[in-house]
Amino acid sequence: MSSQVCSRCSRIIQPGDLFYSLSIKVAAGFDGVINIKSDKIDLSEEFEKVKSYPEELLNEEVYREFEFVLCPRCKEIYCANPLNLPLGNPAPDA
Ligand SMILES: [Zn+2]
């Protein structure tokens, strides 16, 4: 049986040690609105464009999945700030 390694700090997780599995799924949202800004859009042309993308790339556009193993310490760090937002400073008003 191979030991797990923390994806964040590379610590080896010994058999029987506590660890966490982290799954991140990123899927394109759809609010039901299709934006057709111009009636000049040639749908068959758009379709050809989409068809020419490699399928893998197209799938990555709409759905990505990540799997990580975290040691307890890294799990705490991750959960404290999952989006890795800057801490301490209020978000600047852009
Ligand atoms: Zn770790």
Per DSSP, the residues of 57-69 read: HHHHHHEEEEEEE
Check residues 11 and 88 and name the one with the higher pLDDT: 11
Span from the CA of 23 to the centroid of ligand 1 (angstroms): 15
The Cα–Cα gap between 66 and 25 comes to 6
Q: Would you say residue 58 lies in a domain?
A: no
Span from the CA of 27 to the centroid of ligand 1 (angstroms): 26
The number of distinct structural domains making up the chain is 1
Token pair for 4: 């797990």
Q: What predicted TM-score, i.e. pTM, was given to this entire model?
A: 0.62
**Residue 48 pLDDT greater than 80, yes or no:** no
Span from the CA of 4 to the centroid of ligand 1 (angstroms): 11
The domain in which residue 19 lies consists of 1-27+65-81
Q: Would you say residue 17 lies in a domain?
A: yes
Q: How many CA atoms lie within 13 A of 14 on its CB side?
A: 2
Contacting residues for 27 by C-beta, under 8 A, at least 6 apart = 62, 63
Q: Would you say residue 19 lies in a domain?
A: yes
Span from the CA of 86 to the centroid of ligand 1 (angstroms): 20
**Residue 86 pLDDT greater than 80, yes or no:** yes
Using alpha carbons, select from 7, 33, 31 the residue that is nearest to residue 20.
Answer: 7
pLDDT for position 55: 72
Q: Would you say residue 41 lies in a domain?
A: no
Q: Would you say residue 71 lies in a domain?
A: yes
Q: Would you say residue 38 lies in a domain?
A: no
